[in-house]
Structure 1
Amino acid sequence: MKAGRFPVGDEAAARDESILLAPLRARHGTRVLTSPARVARQTAEWITDAFEIVPAFDDIDYGRWRGLSLREAGEREPEQVAAWLADPQAHPHGGESIEMLAARVAGGLAFIDRLNPCERCIVVTHALVVKVALAHALGMPLQSVYGMDFAPLSSTVLKRASPADAWSA
């Protein structure tokens, strides 16, 4: 959505941001997981030489709104856009609802839980996926994602000592 359009999934990074991401460069013992989206894979390449693609962290499927701006989608389908922006169960575009995305992301977090608990993990993904992961990990209602805002290329840290412990941000 950084470009003001619903992504189609094969967008390239707008420019090389490797210098900006240098502080995140993966250290020894850090596992890097990424969305299958091209922009996420490119970003992962800026922080590591080896990463693993995890489909659970892919962006939401925007269905028939892919490639449209929010304004275009709103002009064509105002009631459907309003429903999607208010209800985590709505998926009027024919793609995924926020709730469906949340179930997928929960599976991705469960995958991380099965990793070595001492291993540091970086997930390169999309803003909406981060919002849903935060809501899930912190036990917040899914409706809370509508009030979250993240800058492109920002980082969010989730921690816990073991899968039995609660997450903290």
Structure 2
Amino acid sequence: MKTGRFPAGDEPAEHDARAQVASLRACADTRVIASPARVARETAQWIADSFDVVPAFDDIDYGRWRGQSIRETAGREPDAIAAWLADPQARPHGGESVAMLAARVARGLAYLDETLACGRCIVVTHAIVVKVALAHGLGEPLESVYAMNLAPLSSTLLQRAAPS
């Protein structure tokens, strides 16, 4: 989205960021998961020699806005953009709502816990996916994602609570 367009899903990495992600280079006991998006797969290759692609961690489906200029879309559809940016249930573009994305990400997190049972997983994904995962993990309302701001290539650590 930093390009000013709604992602289409096939965008390459903007630049070689191997140095920025070097500290994440996977250890032998780390499982690396990537979104199906090209940029996520390219980034995952900088972190690990092999990784799994898990669709649950794909970017939100922007529907008919996919690939379009954000500014032009806002000019054509100001009410639709305003609704989408304020209501997690809204999906004026015909794609996924933030609530639908949150349900998909919750299933992905459950998949990590139940199926992979990895001690440490690195998930290479998109800012909105991290935001809904944080809201889910912290028990915050989905509206909280609109106040979150994450830098590109930043890392967020989610840690499971110890079983009681």
Structure-1-length-normalised TM-score = 0.93
Shift of 1:75: 1.0
**What stretches of structure 1 move > 2 A for 4+ residues in a row?**
115-118
Size of the alignment, in residue pairs? 164
Contact 1:36 1:53 in 2 (8 A): yes
Supply the distance in 2 between the matched residues of 1:84 and 1:119 (Cα, whole angstroms).
36
Q: Which amino acid aligns with 2:64?
A: R
Judged with a 3 Å threshold, the aligned counterparts in structure 2 of structure 1 residues 118 and 40 are, in CA distance, closer, same or farther, namely closer
Which residue is 1:152 aligned to? 152
Aligned 1:3-152 pairs, distance under 5 A: 3-115=3-115, 117=117, 119-152=119-152
The structure richer in helix per residue is 2
Same amino acid, percent of matched pairs: 68
* 8 A contact 1:88–1:143 mirrored in 2: yes
Unpaired stretches in structure 2, ≥5 consecutive residues: none
- TM-score for the superposition, normalised by structure 2: 0.96
- Equivalent residue letter for 1:150: L
Distance in 1 (alpha carbons) for counterparts of 2:118 and 2:35: 22
What RMSD, in angstroms, separates the aligned Cα atoms of the two structures? 1.3
Unaligned runs of 5+ in 1: none
- Tell whether the 8 Å contact from 2:31 to 2:118 is kept in structure 1 after alignment: no
State the one-letter code of the partner of 1:24: L
* SS in structure 2 of the partner of residue 130 of structure 1: helix
